[in-house]
Amino acid sequence: MRTSSVVAVVSASLTLATGAHAQAVRGTVITPDSLLVSGVIVTLIDSIGTPVARALADDGGRFTMRAPVAGTYRIEAKRLAFRPTLDVPIKLDSGRVLLHTLVLRGAPVTLEAVKVTAEQQCQMQPDSGTMAFSVWEEARKALRASQLTRLTRAYKVDVTTYVRKKSVGFYRERGADSSNQSGMSLRPFTSRPAEELAERGYITRGPHTAVYHAPDEDVLLSESFGATHCLRILPDSGTDNVVRLGFAPTPGRRQPDIAGVLSIDRGSSELRRLDFNFVNLPALDVVGTPGGEIVFRRLPEGSWMIEQWAIWLPIAELRADIAPTLPVPNTRVPVRVAPAITTRYGLQTTGGHVNRVAAGDETLWLRPTPDR
């Protein structure tokens, strides 16, 4: 949140220079005491309740949204740790830009400690009065902000990516193969379309390979993910500062899928991380428990990003042992025995992390240097 004050509430319209038939709203988000607010998700909703545009308020609380046609709309504002604000109706005229100030009036959200009992069930689309619903809504705000940051911010990142292999009980971990890349777009990986994952599962199999798919923000925010997974609050992980929201495939679902935990900061409602495992797999695939992690970061100006990510998968290697030579019984003639073929299983981890975020020549965020 910025501490600058807005002197007056603006409500006016300007001719839109980008097209005679375009219409838009250009606004500023403030608190009731006139403080500018960054990182607010604003959604333009038409007269029948359909979202038609979204934006993420910048570090000055500013946003712009275009409407498909002229008409009457409302703006919904979602701010982390606060209830949504549904603003008054506004009229957008063809070829005009409406200047508008949006005042946030949503009450604070408190993620209180919850006593988890054995009777709690995983709920599909939990009721709005439940704790699971409140936690999921806060997580969705961060996911939506991360999605909008990627779509609307011209940020560039420097990243380190790596591949590391480790055996399970047979041989030592190998050194990681890593590389550094500069000036990349703010998207570390892309998942398959959510509808495809819901229909076919989170593994794509070829004749000799299997590709495991991690969920990105688009997948987690999709209707198909909500329709195929249930939610429940989990016991806190040894601290009063974290709320853990578990998700799992709905009962009866047989496709390869994911189950996991979203960790949300209790005080700030910020989404910290997503940990997941692949489930509903054939027996061979479960060697080493394939899964992954995604760590989220809120940037100083209110936008969001995926800071680090990893996915670990089972690998199998065949090794031919050195063929021994043994004498033929009752003779001195050596005979070479066929080599033994052994299978060794392990995990291959592919991942990376962001080192720097920049807007043009300005550095917005630097990865902290590990303590030595």
Question: Is residue 316 one of the residues assigned to a domain?
Answer: yes
pLDDT tens sequence across 255-281: 999 999 999 998 899 999 999 999 998
Residues 41, 182 within the same domain? no
Q: Give domain status of residue 123, yes or no.
A: no
> 255 and 332 share a domain?
yes
Domain boundary among 53, 88, 103: 103
Residues 169 and 78 in one domain: no
Exposure of 185 by Cβ count < 10 A (0-12 exposed, 13-18 middle, 19+ buried)? exposed
> Where residue 223 falls among pLDDT bands split at 50, 70, 90?
very high
Identify whether residues 87 and 135 lie together within a single domain. no
> Of 59, 86, 103, which residue sits at a domain end?
103
d(Cα 285, Cα 197) in Å, to the nearest integer? 18
Q: Specify the pairing of strand 23-30 against strand 96-103.
A: parallel
Rg, Å, the chain Cα set: 26
Does residue 111 belong to any structural domain of this protein?
A: no
Nearest to 295 by CA among 368, 212, 361, 351: 351
Residue closest to 228 by CA, chosen among 191, 195, 276: 195
Q: Is residue 4 part of a domain?
A: no
Q: Tell whether the torsion through CA atoms of 111, 148, 44 and 49 is positive or negative.
A: negative
Residues 45 and 172 in one domain: no
pLDDT band at 19 (very low <50, low <70, confident <90, very high): very low
pLDDT digit string (tens) for 201-221? 999 888 878 888 999 999 999
155 and 16 share a domain? no
Q: Which residue is associated with the tokens 């940037």?
A: 299
| Together in a domain, 93 and 138 | no
User: Could you read off the pLDDT of 27-60 as tens digits, one per residue?
Assistant: 999 999 999 999 999 999 999 999 999 999 999 9
Residue 211: inside a domain: yes
- Is the distance from CB of 316 to CB of 345 less than 8 angstroms? yes
Residues 67, 21 share a domain: yes
Shared domain for 88 and 211, answered yes or no, is no
Q: Indicate the residue type of 5.
A: S
Q: How many domains does the chain have?
A: 2
Q: Is residue 122 part of a domain?
A: no
Residue 270: inside a domain:
yes
Is 199 in the same domain as 301?
yes
Q: Identify which of 62, 61, 57, 91 has the alpha carbon closest to the alpha carbon of residue 74.
A: 91
**Whose CA is closest to 40, among 63, 15, 17, 70?**
63
Return mean pLDDT, the chain: 85
Could you tell me if 159 and 39 lie in one domain? no
**Domain CATH for 72:** 2.60.40.10
Residue 283 placed within a domain: yes
Instruction: Let me know whether 76 and 142 are in one domain.
Output: no
Tell me what pLDDT residue 341 has: 53
Mean pLDDT for 346-365 is 92
| 306-335 pLDDT tens trace | 999 999 987 766 555 555 555 666 666 665
Predicted TM-score (pTM) of this structure: 0.84
CA distance readout (Å), 28 to 57, 194, 310: 8, 33, 37
Extract the tokens encoding 190. 């892309």
Whole-angstrom Cα distance, residue 136 to residue 142? 10
Residue 150 belongs to domain spanning: 131-366
CA distances from 295 to 247, 308, 330 (A): 17, 5, 67
Stretch (H or E) spanning 219: helix 217-220
